[in-house]
Each structure stands twice: as C-alpha cells, then as structure tokens.
Amino acid sequence: MERSLPAATPSASAAPADAVGGSRIGFENVSVTYGSLTVLQSLTLTVNPGEIVALIGPSGSGKTTALRAVAGFVRPSSGRIMIGDRDVTNLAPYDRKIGMVVQNYALFPHMRVEENVAFGLRAHGASEAVVRARVPECLAMVGMGAYAKRYPRELSGGQQQRIAIARALANKPQVLLLDEPLSALDAQIRRSMLDELAKLHRDLPALTVLYVTHDQTEALTLANHIGIMRDGRLKAFGGAQSLFRNPPNRFAAEFLGRAN
Ligand code: ADP
C-alpha cells in the first residue's frame, strides 16, 4: 500500500525549535563537476519536511554526489542547496544541521558506544548535562540502550549501524542523510533494519530523510517519493508505488525491471 504524505505539509516553523527534523531539502539547479566531468547536471528536487525521498539509479549516476552536496562535502559548481529556508550552499558541513550515516558505519573503534554518540554533541559545545541526558535518549531511539558501555568491535554490523544512526540524530538535525546505510549488512539483518528505519520514522515523523540506495526494495519500503538518476540527471521522480506501476519513460521502466 502506498504511504500517504501528510495532508498539510508541515512547515519548518511548525516543529519545536529543538525537535529532530522539520526542514525541507531543496536542490535548485545543482550541478557538480570534477575537472571536465559533470557528475550532477542541473538537479532540481525537493524533499518536503517529514518525507523520505530515495534516490536510486545505476552505480556512478550521481546519487552519492547529490547527498554529499547536501552534507557540504561537495561544492556545487552552480545552483543552490536549501535546508529549510536557509541557503546552505556556502556553509561548512558543521553548520548545516544535518545528520549523516554512510555504508560502513565509521564509528570510532577506540570509543565506547556512549562516547561515539557523545562525540558530536561535545564537538558542538553541548554541556555535560545535555550529553548525559541526550545519549541514552538517542540509544533508546534505536533500541540500543543496553549497549552504551560496549565497544564497536563487540557489536554486530546491524548494531553498529544503529549506533551510527543514534549518533547522527544526537544533535537533533533538521535533515538526515543516509548513504547506502544497509548495503554492508547481510540480507536478514538488512530486512530487520528496514523495519527499524520505518519505525524510527514513525517515532520521528518530522524527520526529513534523503536516502541513497541501489536497492529498489529499500526504496519502495521506506520512501514516500523515489527519484531515479542516470548520468547525473534525474530521469524520473514520483510517488514510490506509482513510479513503479507507471514508469514515466523507458529508462525508468528498464531500471525498475518493468519494461516489456
Ligand atoms: P553513485 O552514488 O550513483 O554511484 P557517485 O555520485 O558516487 O555515483 O559518482 C558519480 C560520478 O562521479 C562517477 O562517475 C564517479 O566516478 C565520479 N566521482 C565521484 N566522486 C569523485 C571525485 N572525488 N573525483 C572525481 N570523480 C568523482
């Protein structure tokens, strides 16, 4: 069944100031070049507050570049990136109020789980009182409250990825960027993590998520809308189920395995 969007899209100001999420992500004619290679061509795309948009497409089509442009690790050669009403195109990653999770968790191996989650909070100047309150909250959000004192090496891949998500949420980001977050996990854990992510989004309905994956099942399970990329261009965009049922062009049909 198709997941429906909220009837009235909440505006950024409708969410409490310190809530997780609540902001739109806007790509406005964003292009990215590496030398003479254009890897993102005039991408225009909006992720509404509280929505999950999945970007899918073949390897090398520009999905990760798009996500990294929102994070601030890639600078567009033209166009603007908006988070809520802020033009963040020229802001450092640190100033963008984003949370990000990548494929290989990237936890600090020498730090306990609680220290991993606390790290970003302290880096942003949070007091010890805030750290003490927020870390258990974030671990509870991902069902890992009992693992605070463990080291990453003592956790499974799925558990490590949950910690990475808890860490990404610690600073109450306006948007969450997920880059192939389940790709390194085996199939069974991936399925249960998909359920976990869906639950997380039910618990944090204001959370705005851009989700990069090559996996159609993940996109169909989680996303409200799906964008299909090819050669740095957005070739198709639509409601997750309707795009699958009625691909708007031959490339989308072929990519989704729907071509006759
Ligand atoms: P996807 O996520 O869809 O697999 P990417 O965004 O990672 O695609 O890559 C898009 C294109 O940009 C690819 O051709 C890739 O080789 C190229 N690319 C990505 N990062 C760099 C970089 N730092 N320098 C040069 N080319 C890059």
- Average pLDDT of span 149-176: 93
**Does residue 20 register a pLDDT over 80?**
no
Calculate how far, in angstroms, residue 65's C-alpha sits from the geometric centre of ligand 1: 6
Q: Which residues, judged by CB distance below 6 Å to any ligand atom, belong to the binding site of ligand 1?
A: 34, 39, 57, 59-65
- Of 33, 37, 39, 103, best ligand 1 pocket probe by most atoms within 8 Å of the beta carbon: 39
In this structure, the residue with its CA closest to atom 19 of ligand 1 is 65
Sheet holding 37-47, edge to edge: 37-47, 25-34, 78-83, 86-87
**Does residue 3 register a pLDDT over 80?**
no
Which ipTM score applies to this complex? 0.97
Calculate how far, in angstroms, residue 180's C-alpha sits from the geometric centre of ligand 1: 14
164 CA to centre of own chain: 12
Q: Which of 16-20, 60-64, 176-180, 182-186 has the lowest mean pLDDT?
A: 16-20
Return the ligand 1 atom nearest residue 57 CA. 3
Q: Residue 257: its pLDDT value, please? A: 85
- Split at pLDDT 50, 70, 90, the class of 259 is low
Q: Residue 16: its pLDDT value, please? A: 53
- Split at pLDDT 50, 70, 90, the class of 192 is confident
**Does residue 4 register a pLDDT over 60?**
no
Inter-CA distances, 172 with 16, 22, 121, 176, 202, Å = 11, 10, 10, 10, 16
* Angle, vertex CA 95, rays to CA 100 and CA 131, nearest 5: 70
47 sits in which H/E element: strand 37-47
Neighbours of 167 (CB within 10 A): 27
What are the pLDDT digits (tens) for 102-159?
A: 887 689 999 999 999 999 899 888 999 999 999 999 999 899 999 999 999 999 988 9
- Split at pLDDT 50, 70, 90, the class of 18 is low
Higher pLDDT, 259 or 208: 208
- Split at pLDDT 50, 70, 90, the class of 260 is low
Calculate how far, in angstroms, residue 213's C-alpha sits from the geometric centre of ligand 1: 14
Claim: this prediction has a pTM higher than 0.95: no
What are the pLDDT digits (tens) for 66-112?
A: 999 999 999 999 999 999 999 999 999 988 989 999 887 689 999 99
What's the CA gap between 140 and 146, in Å, rounded?
Answer: 9
Q: Residue count of the chain, please give it.
A: 260
98: left (phi over 0), alpha (psi -120 to 50) or beta: beta
Calculate how far, in angstroms, residue 39's C-alpha sits from the geometric centre of ligand 1: 6
Calculate how far, in angstroms, residue 62's C-alpha sits from the geometric centre of ligand 1: 6
114 sits in which H/E element: helix 113-123
In this structure, the residue with its CA closest to atom 24 of ligand 1 is 34
